[in-house]
Structure 1
């Protein structure tokens, strides 16, 4: 492969990773929308679209493997390809978490704990993901650190939301509304799904930090944010 073709392949890989991130972010937005609106149709769109993301991931994985096997890149090029491979893995997992949101929408029996602002948490994680991918696109080191710093805020939001659910469950009348075991079991399943939703959104933030960490390593050979 001529040098110009090789450089073009590297740029194509970057563009493809950025495109995948746009699709994944849109799936996450759609999953949050389905959750907020309790919309079964939208939820199924997110779930049914997972195969497309998986195919995209496998195709990009193949691009990374081919570049390493055929071109034997070194130094910054090798770090770029390795980082891109790790980033698409994080993106695929975020897409899986979006699918979870669709599943929670379909399974929820009732709308509990309206004081828990799931959309606020979701927007914060989406902003982290968008900025992490911007850092990757522009090789912006400062933005990598900014994304990592914001993870503590998201973690605090998720912890507060989980504590609110548990406190309301204990202090509220939810468990006293019925003596029917089946209804109580259904209630506890809904509570469990809500807590899982909070956990999954927190994980989206963690994956965004992973993207920022891999980008920092790609640009400066600095593993400070890797964990």
Structure 2
């Protein structure tokens, strides 16, 4: 009977974690969409919904700790619970960066736009959202090989970051009117890069779930070291 209850709790933990992942993916999409479209109402929605994602993370951590304390799981079951705790923390940080993008949207006051940069940011954001969705699917399918593959997508995100960074700096040099907007672009792509880094962290936890080993799949820990 106890085992059945534990298995039900474990299934609920999986379900709640996946729902949190979907909420974070949605927040990232909406935050970038609001920034590109200068949609301050949508940006405000992202900011207000962040409390829901924070509550999800707190709830997952509480449930995980209760299951460890009361059920004393071993080996694979314990790895599942640890993975959910650690990965939900990464999801929460990703949502925080989505909020930062939304706040950048609200800050912008009719600055000179660089359309080529905004198009590239939209493409970069699409890559990041795909990465998040793929990570959550790899988690559900317990596909650690897919997780390793997904982690390599961070390289493409890094490439977009470098391209947009260079393009923005050049535009700011050539036209001083773009400096304020360009600074916002640099901030936003920095947040997107960090979100991709946290998605890679989750890939590492999926590998840990399967193998019991923590592998470093990051090619670049630049932001974690700061």
TM-score (norm 2): 0.91
* Equivalence for 2:28: 28
In the alignment, structure 2 segments of 5+ residues that lack a partner are 219-226
Within-5 A mapping of 1:66-145: 66-109=66-109, 110-116=111-117, 117-145=120-148
Instruction: Check if 1:2 corresponds to 2:2.
Output: yes
Matching residue within 212, 221, 224 for 2:203: 212
Structure-2 separation of matches of 1:139 and 1:225 = 18
Does the 8 Å CA contact 1:132/1:208 hold for their aligned counterparts? yes
Q: How many residues align?
A: 215
TM-superposed deviation, 1:189: 3.8
Aligned to 2:155: 152
Q: TM-score, normalised by structure 1?
A: 0.90
3-state SS of 1:115 partner: helix
Instruction: Provide the aligned C-alpha RMSD in A.
Output: 1.4
Distance 1:199 1:191 in 2: 12
Instruction: State how far apart, in whole Å, the 1-side matches of 2:183 and 2:71 are.
Output: 49
Task: Give the structure 2 partner of residue 196 of structure 1.
Answer: 187
Structure 2 match to 1:54: 54
Q: CA deviation at 1:224?
A: 2.0
Instruction: Give the superposition deviation at 1:225.
Output: 3.1
**What is the CA-CA distance between 1:167 and the residue it aligns to?**
1.5
Report Cα offsets for 1:145-184 as digits up to 9, x if no partner: 11111111111111111011112222x2x22x6xxxxxxx
Contact 2:128 2:192 survives alignment (8 Å): yes
1:51 Cα deviation after fit: 1.1
Whether 1:161 and 2:164 are equivalent positions in the alignment is yes
Q: C-alpha separation between the residues in 1 aligned to 2:59 and 2:83?
A: 16
Could you tell me which runs of 5 or more consecutive residues in structure 1 were left unpaired when the two chains were aligned.
178-186
Q: Hey, what does 2:224 align to over in structure 1? A: none
User: Equivalents in 2 of 1:189, 1:64: separation in Å?
Assistant: 44
Structure index of larger Rg: 1
